[in-house]
Amino acid sequence: MPNPLKTLLKFKSKLKSKSKSKNRTPADMVRRVRELLILFNNNTNVDHGPKWGEKIEELGKLMMEIKLILYGTSDAEPVPEYCAQVTQEFFREHTFRLLITCLPKLDLEARKDATQIVANLQRQQVHSRLIACDYLEANIDIMDILLSGYEDHRLSLHYGNMLRECVRHQSIAK
């Protein structure tokens, strides 16, 4: 049986080596993702300026880090407390919806990570509840967003994978 403390320390060191994150908590990372997604969603300006590329890069790194938190690494299993923090934060301020809505504005790698994050969030239990199911029941229009994603052939694979994960919940499938 692996030592949970040793696993946690290994996981933290792996995360630190992957990025220069400023000792952010998992919830802080999701909040920063939300800020960046809001910025991308609201900006329709063609000339984004010199800082735009840095923000896109930061979002990509954060998405990768969140994916590592949810899935773990080859050296360390996911830490349940971190997974719960990420899950709660994604649904607390509607970052889940924002991620799905902003998918067309992300680069390919960020789209792949977003697809995996959405899939994993569907299976995360917080206090013995699948909060993704509760969230989707209360925000059933998200299914319409996912369905309309099929219209763009560049995005249909990503939206299709997300949709399949969402309809695994019986109440949502109905």
Per-residue pLDDT 10s for the chain (174 aa) are 455 445 555 555 555 544 444 688 999 999 999 999 999 888 766 556 678 888 989 999 999 999 999 999 999 999 999 999 999 999 999 999 999 999 999 999 999 999 999 999 999 989 888 899 899 999 999 989 998 988 888 998 999 889 888 887 777 776
Q: How far apart are CA 101 and CA 99, in angstroms?
A: 5
Q: Pull the structure tokens for residue 1.
A: 């049986």
Q: How far is 81 from 55, CA to CA, in rounded Å?
A: 28
Residue at token pair 């954060």: 62
Q: What is the pTM of this model?
A: 0.81
CB neighbours (10 Å) of residue 160?
Answer: 15
Among candidate residues 160, 27, 48, 49, the one with its CA nearest the CA of residue 105: 48
- Cβ-Cβ contacts under 8 Å for 168 (sequence gap 6 or more): 122
Q: Coil, helix or strand for 99?
A: helix
